[in-house]
Each structure stands twice: as structure tokens, then as C-alpha cells.
């Protein structure tokens, strides 16, 4: 029911109330005329209207209650205005006829609505609690996953550090080994050179050798200067040598 229809209903009841007051005034006037000596004149018969309390009950209680029941039970957003007004009128007529039965039905409907709202509230509370529990569980799982990830990163970092230290130790050991080998090789080379030098500093004259051939083999030079150096080192006055003679080679 629209606001305009509601205002029209109120206006109709107001006019009815005014008409009833006028009828009461006319009735009182007729009664006074009868008392003043006009017994033969019959008072005008008036139809009895609805009492005031009934009008007030219909205006302030029955109609709003009917509207409330309509919106709770029969209102559908897809219906047209004509259908809604028709259903509302039918509902008002049923309420007027049924009286206490309608009140009981309305109370039952209100109770059902309250139970439904209570059930929906409980379901919503349950859903909210389940949602909150799921969020808390997801938060805990995310926290555990983050802790596990950090622990894994720490473990990998520690393993990488140990591997780096082992690699560095291996490289140092390899370098020390190579240095030791190089040192030993250098010592062996020096010993070999010393041996060769000691061996090359003297020469035992073999058969068919002379001083010229010895100088040519050891120095690659058989000049007189080289021969003179060999003669001076051995205190020789000539180039004559003997088989088995040990000659110093400066």
C-alpha cells in the first residue's frame, strides 16, 4: 500500500468521524425538540455508524498491522502495484473477518519470523566462527611455513659455508702440497746440478784423448786460451796428458 492510499484511508475515516459527530448533534437536537412539545414529529432515523474506538482501532492498529503482515508474508518485489493493492485489500478483509484468528496467525507468523531470524543469526555466527578459525589456521600454517623456509635457508647457508671452508682447506692443502713438491724438486735439481758440477769439475783422461779434445768436449772450445786455462789449473807445462790422469776443469 502506498503513502497516498494510506492518506486516503485516513481521510475517509476522518470524514466518517465528522459525519458521526454531525449525526450525534442532530440526534441531540431532535431530542430537545421532543422535550419542548413536539411529540407528534417523529425524529429522523439515522443509521448507526461505527463507534469511535472501532475506527481508532482500524486506523492505528489493524491497518498498520495488516501492512506489516503483508510486507512480511506476501510482498514480492516483482509484483505490480495493482496486484500488491489487490492482495493487500484481500488481506485486510480477511483480517477484519477473522478477528482474533488473524491476530493469532500474525503472532504465529511473527514467532516463525523470529525463529527464522534467530536461526539465521545462529548460522551466521557459526559461519563467522568457522571463518575466523579457518583464518587463524591459515595464519598459523603460513607462520609455520615461513619458519620452515627460514630454517631451510639457514641450513643451506650453513652447508654452503662448510662446503666453502672445505674447498678452501682443500685448496690450501693442494697449494701446500704443490709448494712442497716444488721445493723438493728444486732441492733435487740443485743437488743434481751440484753433482753434475762436481762431476764436471774433474775429468779422467781416457784412451785416445788429448787436452784439445777434452777442452772441446767440456767447453766447446779448443782454442789456445782454453787450453792455457786448463794447463794453469793443473800446473801443466805442455798439452800432453796420460791415460788415467785426473785433470781439473776450471
Over residues 127-138, the pLDDT tens digits come to 899 999 999 999
Q: What is d(CA 189, CA 233) in angstroms, rounded to the nearest whole number?
A: 28
Q: Of the ranges 79-83, 90-94, 99-103, which one carries the lowest mean pLDDT score?
A: 99-103
Q: Of the ranges 89-98, 154-163, 180-189, 193-202, which one carries the lowest mean pLDDT score?
A: 89-98
Does residue 232 surpass a pLDDT of 80? yes
Whether residue 118 is contained in a domain is answered as no
* Residue of higher predicted confidence among 190 and 94: 190
Range of the domain at 230: 194-248
Instruction: Compute the 3-state secondary structure of the chain and give helix, strand, coil in percent, each to the nearest 5.
Output: 80, 0, 20
Q: What is d(CA 51, CA 33) in angstroms, rounded to the nearest whole number?
A: 25
Domains contained in the chain, number = 2
Choose one of 54, 80, 98: the last residue of a domain. Answer: 98
Choose one of 48, 78, 98: the last residue of a domain. Answer: 98
Distances (CA, A) of 31 to 38, 40, 44, 46: 10, 13, 10, 13
Whether residue 212 is contained in a domain is answered as yes
Whether residue 183 is contained in a domain is answered as no
Give residue 120's pLDDT: 87
- Residue 218's contacts (CB-CB under 8 Å, 6 or more residues apart) are 200, 203, 249
Whether residue 220 is contained in a domain is answered as yes
CATH (domain of 232): 3.10.350
**238: closest CA among 219, 212, 217?**
212
Question: What mean pLDDT is predicted for residues 101-130?
Answer: 77
**246: closest CA among 94, 140, 235?**
235
Give residue 202's pLDDT: 85
Whether residue 142 is contained in a domain is answered as no
* Residue of higher predicted confidence among 22 and 217: 217
Does residue 246 surpass a pLDDT of 60? yes
Choose one of 68, 98, 128: the last residue of a domain. Answer: 98
For residue 155, give the C-alpha cell: 641450513
Give residue 216's pLDDT: 87
84 — pLDDT class (breaks 50, 70, 90): low
Are 202 and 248 spatial neighbours (Cβ–Cβ below 8 Å)?
yes
Whether residue 33 is contained in a domain is answered as yes
Whether residue 146 is contained in a domain is answered as no
Distances (CA, A) of 10 to 56, 58, 63, 89: 10, 10, 10, 15
Q: Of the ranges 14-28, 34-48, 179-193, 196-210, which one carries the lowest mean pLDDT score?
A: 34-48
* Cβ-based burial of 199 (10 A; exposed 0-12, middle 13-18, buried ≥19): exposed
pLDDT digits over 25-55, tens only?
A: 777 666 666 555 544 444 454 555 556 777 7
Does residue 87 surpass a pLDDT of 80? no
Give residue 211's pLDDT: 86
Question: What mean pLDDT is predicted for residues 193-198?
Answer: 64
Output the pTM of the full model.
0.29
Question: What mean pLDDT is predicted for residues 81-85?
Answer: 56
Give residue 223's pLDDT: 87
Whether residue 63 is contained in a domain is answered as yes
Amino acid at each position: 500500500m502506498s503513502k497516498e492510499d494510506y492518506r486516503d484511508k485516513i481521510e475517509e475515516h476522518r470524514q466518517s468521524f465528522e459525519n458521526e459527530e454531525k449525526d450525534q448533534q442532530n440526534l441531540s437536537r431532535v431530542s430537545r425538540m421532543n422535550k419542548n412539545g413536539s411529540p407528534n414529529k417523529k425524529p429522523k432515523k439515522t443509521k448507526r455508524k461505527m463507534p469511535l474506538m472501532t475506527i481508532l482501532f482500524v486506523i492505528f492498529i489493524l491497518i498498520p498491522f495488516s501492512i506489516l503482515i503483508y510486507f512480511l508474508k506476501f510482498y514480492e518485489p516483482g509484483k505490480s502495484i495493482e496486484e500488491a493493492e489487490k492482495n493487500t485489500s484481500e488481506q485486510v478483509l480477511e483480517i477484519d473477518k477473522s478477528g482474533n484468528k488473524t491476530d493469532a496467525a500474525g503472532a504465529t507468523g511473527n514467532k516463525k519470523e523470529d525463529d527464522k531470524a534467530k536461526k539465521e543469526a545462529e548460522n551466521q555466527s557459526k559461519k563467522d566462527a568457522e571463518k575466523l578459525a579457518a583464518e587463524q589456521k591459515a595464519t598459523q600454517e603460513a607462520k609455520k611455513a615461513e619458519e620452515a623456509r627460514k630454517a631451510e635457508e639457514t641450513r643451506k647457508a650453513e652447508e654452503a659455508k662448510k662446503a666453502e671452508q672445505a674447498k678452501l682447506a682443500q685448496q690450501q692443502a693442494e697449494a701446500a702440497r704443490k709448494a712442497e713438491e716444488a721445493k723438493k724438486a728444486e732441492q733435487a735439481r740443485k743437488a743434481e746440478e751440484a753433482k753434475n758440477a762436481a762431476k764436471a769439475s774433474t775429468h779422467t783422461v781416457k784412451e785416445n784423448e788429448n787436452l784439445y779434445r777434452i777442452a772441446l768436449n767440456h767447453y766447446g772450445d779448443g782454442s789456445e786460451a782454453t787450453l792455457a786455462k786448463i794447463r794453469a789449473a793443473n800446473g801443466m807445462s805442455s798439452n800432453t796428458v796420460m791415460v788415467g790422469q785426473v785433470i781439473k776443469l776450471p
